Amino acid sequence: MSSTEPTHATEAHAPGARGPEGTIPLAVPNIGELERRYVLEAVESGFVSSVGPFVSEFERRFADRVGATHAIACASGTAAIHVGLLLLGVGRDDDVVCSDFTFVGSVNPIAYCGARPVLVDSETATWNLDPALLAAELDRRAVAGEAQPKVVEIVHVLGQPADMEPLIDACDRHGIPVLEDAAESLGASWSTGRYAGRHTGTVGRIGCFSFNGNKIATTGGGGMIVTDDDDLAARARHLTTQAKVPDVGYLHDEVGYNYRLTNLAAGLGLAQLERLEEFVDAKHHIAARYDAAFADLPLVLPPRVEGLDATYWLYSVLVPEGDGRGRDDFLAHLHARGVGARALWRPLHAQPPFLGAPVLGGAVGEGLFGRGLSLPCATDLTRSDQDRVIEAVRSFFA
C-alpha cells in the first residue's frame, strides 16, 4: 500500500468518517491491499459473476481452514442455512429446534421451508441453546409418542462455541441431525473433550457460515455451507445453482435457488481468509483488554468457558440488575460519548412473525436482551479508540 493511500483504520475511525461526530463504530470490515488486489484480479479476469477461479479457490481454502471435506459458497449465511435445512429433508409442517436468543436470520429459513420453529432458551454459561431443555423436550416427545423435530439447529452466538457434547448426545439418542449456525463464530473451536481441535460448524451434519460486512471476515455479503458428506455437498451445489442439470442445455430438474457467491465476492473472501489469524488475534487482544479494564465493574462479561475457545465476534456485556439504571441508560451514556454500542437481539419468541411458535423457557434470553449490549470491537480498532471505549464504560459507574 502506498504511503499516500489512507489505511482502513484511518478511513473507519477518523472523526466523522463513520457515524455522527466521529462515533467509534461497532464493527466494520478490515480491508487492505490484498483485498483490493484480489478483487481487481477478479474484475480483470472477466469472471465477475458466480463462476470463476476465486470461487473454487475460496471454497477449497475455507474447507481446509475449518477442517471440512466440502465447502460450498453461497450468497448469504441465511441462504446457506436455507439450503442446509433442505438438504436435511426439512419440509412443510416439520418442526425444527432453534435457539430463541439469536439473530432472526437463523430462524427465517425454517419458515422458508414451511416448517415450524421450536424455540429453546439459552443457558447462562455460554448464552447458547440450553442442552438440558433440549434433552428434556426430545425425551418428552419420545415418551408421548410425538414426532421428533426434523433438525436441531444450534447457533454459536456472538462467536462463543456451544457446549456441543450434551447437545449432540441428546440429538443422537433420537436420531436427529444437527445443523450448526456458525455465522458468528469463524475462528472459534473446542480445545478439550470429544471435539478438541474441531472448528465450529464441523461437528453437525452441516455447518453454515456468514460473511456479512460486520463479520470477522467478509465478502461484502455471502455465506458458506460445509459438510463431510459427499452426497449432501453435491446436492448443495445443485440447489444453489438453480438446480441446473450439468452438461444439458437449460434443464432444471427441480426448484433451485440463485444462491451462488460471485467471483468478485470470493476474491474479497479469499484475501480475508488469508488474514483470518490476524483478525482472530485482534479480537482476542481487544477482549483481553476489555476484560482487564472492566474486571472491577459490576458488569457480566462475555462467557469464558474452559475448552470453548471463542472469537468474541461482538464483545458483549450485561448491565447489573437492581441499581436503578438499565441497559438503555448505559447505551445513552455511551452514545453521548461517541461509542457505537448496540443492544443485543430481542428473543425470537417476542418477534411478530414467531409469536405463536412453541418456546421452551425464555427467561434467560429475555435477560440477555434486557441487560445486554455489544461494544466496539472491529479487528482494526486502534488502541486510542479502545481507550475511549474503556473510559466511556468506566465513567458510567464512576
pLDDT in tens, 242-296: 999 988 889 999 999 999 999 999 999 999 999 999 999 999 999 999 999 999 9
Per-residue CA distances from 32 to 44, 89, 271, 272, 279 (Å)? 19, 41, 9, 9, 12
Specify the domain boundaries for CATH 3.40.640.10 within the chain: 34-274
Of all residues in the chain, the percent with pLDDT exceeding 90 is 91
Query: Which of 127, 77, 132, 86 lies closest to 106 in space, CA to CA?
Result: 77
How do residues 305-335 score in pLDDT, each as one tens digit? 999 999 999 999 999 998 889 999 999 999 9
Residue of 232, 231, 77 lying closest to 155 (CA atoms)? 77
Q: Which CATH homologous superfamily contains domain 8-29+276-396?
A: Aspartate Aminotransferase, domain 1 (3.90.1150.10)
Residues of the chain with CATH 3.90.1150.10: 8-29+276-396
For the chain, state the CA radius of gyration. 21
Of 20-24, 33-37, 244-248, give the range with the top mean pLDDT. Answer: 33-37
Residues 101-122 have a mean pLDDT of 99
Q: In this predicted model, what pLDDT tens digit does every residue of 120-140 receive, in sequence order? A: 999 999 999 999 999 999 999
More confident residue, 16 or 317: 317
- Check whether 25 has a pLDDT greater than 60: yes
Confidence band for 21, pLDDT divided at 50, 70 and 90: low
The Cα 185–Cα 200 span in angstroms is: 7
Average pLDDT, the chain: 94
Q: What is the mean pLDDT of residues 340-355?
A: 98
- Whole-angstrom distance, CA of residue 223 vs CA of residue 217: 11
165: pLDDT strictly greater than 90: yes
**pLDDT at 26 exceeding the cut of 50:** yes
Please provide the DSSP assignment of 27-57 as one string: ------HHHHHHHHHHHHHT--SS-SHHHHH
pLDDT at 189 over 90: yes
> Across residues 156-175, what is the average pLDDT?
99
DSSP state of 339: B
Residue among 84, 98, 90 at smallest CA distance from 129: 98
SS3 breakdown of the chain: % helix, strand, coil, rounded to 5? 40, 15, 45
pLDDT at 20: 52
User: What pLDDT is attached to residue 16?
Assistant: 34
Contacts of 31 (CB under 8 A, 6+ apart): 8, 268
pLDDT category of residue 184 using cuts at 50, 70 and 90: very high
Give tens-digit pLDDT for 200-233.
Answer: 999 999 999 999 999 999 999 999 999 999 999 9
What is the per-residue pLDDT across 61-75, written as a single tens digit (0 to 9) for each? 999 999 999 999 999
Q: Tell me the pLDDT band of 14, cut-offs 50, 70 and 90.
A: very low
Q: Coil, strand or helix: which one is 252?
A: strand
Over residues 4-17, mean pLDDT: 33
User: 71-99: per-residue pLDDT in tens?
Assistant: 999 999 999 999 999 999 999 999 999 99
**Topology (CATH level 3) of domain 34-274:** Aspartate Aminotransferase; domain 2 (3.40.640)
pLDDT at 4: 29
Q: Has this prediction a pTM greater than 0.85?
A: yes
> Residue 311: which residues within 8 A CB-CB, separation 6 or more?
159, 185, 186, 187, 188, 216, 280, 283, 284
81 neighbors 153 (Cβ within 8 angstroms): yes
